């Protein structure tokens, strides 16, 4: 896995589930025939799902590309927090003044994934525990370029009028014929 800077353009982020509890994300071109990088990710959570794919970025100083922080599918509360190599994670944590997930060794075998730690802005390593990294991320209702998913409004159930009165007229005609036959029979017995 390597960390790369992506130029402006369109990319596909594809999740490859491994046998472990962590996730592997591949970044490819639109056709999927060129892999730019493979990234280790850990589960992330937010309170409100959105109707579009949402990518969170860490704001960095001028001259530095923004670091991709997390990725959420449309309609999902659970997403993927990206994990950086330890050296880069320390640099990003200092620049953005937020904890950043890090790994020390590259992931070579899916059965033995890299150990994830959290690097703080003070250059301390902490054991990773599944948690919400920032309250602002977890409670964000829209994210970047997203819009909050609205609960479907339940309208009063009203069925469309699809029946024709032709059958009703036919049934009424049959009933009248039956009544006339009955009246005729009764009148013949009375005579």
> What is the 3-class SS of 13-59, one letter each residue?
EEEEECCCCCEEEEEECCCCCCEEEEEEEEEEECCCCECCCEEEEEC
The pLDDT-based confidence of 106 (bands split at 50, 70, 90) is low
pTM for this predicted structure: 0.59
Percent of the chain residues past pLDDT 90, beyond the cut: 7
Distance, in Å, from the CA atom of 160 to the CA atom of 70, rounded to the nearest integer, reads: 45
Q: Which residue has the tokens 């819009």?
A: 147
pLDDT band per the 50, 70, 90 thresholds, residue 65 = confident
Is a pLDDT exceeding 90 seen at residue 183? yes
Of 6-15, 72-81, 112-121, the range with the lowest mean pLDDT is: 112-121
- Residue environment code for 161-171, b if the CB has 16+ CB neighbours within 10 A, otherwise e: eeeeeeeeeee
């Amino acid at each position: 896995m390597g960390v790369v800077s992506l130029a402006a353009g369109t990319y596909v982020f594809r999740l490859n589930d491994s046998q472990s509890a962590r996730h592997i994300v591949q970044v490819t071109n639109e056709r999927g025939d060129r892999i730019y990088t493979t990234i280790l990710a850990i589960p992330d959570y937010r309170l409100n799902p959105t109707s579009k794919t949402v990518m969170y970025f860490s704001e960095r100083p001028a001259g530095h590309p923004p670091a991709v922080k997390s990725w959420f599918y449309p309609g999902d509360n659970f997403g993927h927090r990206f994990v950086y190599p330890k050296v880069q994670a320390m640099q990003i944590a200092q620049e953005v003044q937020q904890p950043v997930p890090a790994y020390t060794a590259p992931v070579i075998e899916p059965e033995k994934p890299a150990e994830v730690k959290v690097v703080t802005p003070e250059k301390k390593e902490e054991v990773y525990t599944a948690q919400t990294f920032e309250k602002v991320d977890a409670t964000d209702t829209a994210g970047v370029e997203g819009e909050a998913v609205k609960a479907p409004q339940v309208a009063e159930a009203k069925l469309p009028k699809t029946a024709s009165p032709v059958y009703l007229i036919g049934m009424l005609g049959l009933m009248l014929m039956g009544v006339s036959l009955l009246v005729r029979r009764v009148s013949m017995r009375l005579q």
